[in-house]
């Protein structure tokens, strides 16, 4: 998935803050296995794109769970 560099895996631990309301900017914190914190700055456009991608991921999981339950 990387662009020729090193891939860093990180986990979202639920930490975020609003950096600005106008324009809307949020900062989400990710934690790596080496205890490094990665801050991800999202504007409204990127937040909506991420939300859409997460909804698609969850829909795949729900479809899989539904298929396994039958």
Strands 10-21, 24-32: pairing kind: antiparallel
Instruction: Report domain extents, the chain.
Output: 10-68
Q: Mind listing the pLDDT tens digit for each residue in 15-45?
A: 999 999 999 999 999 999 999 999 999 999 9
| Report field, pTM of the whole predicted structure over 0.85 | no
Q: Which of 45, 20, 42 is nearest to 29 (CA)?
A: 42
């Amino acid at each position: 998935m990387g662009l020729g560099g090193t891939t860093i895996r990180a986990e979202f631990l639920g930490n975020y803050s609003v950096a600005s309301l106008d324009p809307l900017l949020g900062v989400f914190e990710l934690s790596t296995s080496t205890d490094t914190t990665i801050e991800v700055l999202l504007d409204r456009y990127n937040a909506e794109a991420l939300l859409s991608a997460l909804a698609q991921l969850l829909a795949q999981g729900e479809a899989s769970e539904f298929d396994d339950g039958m």
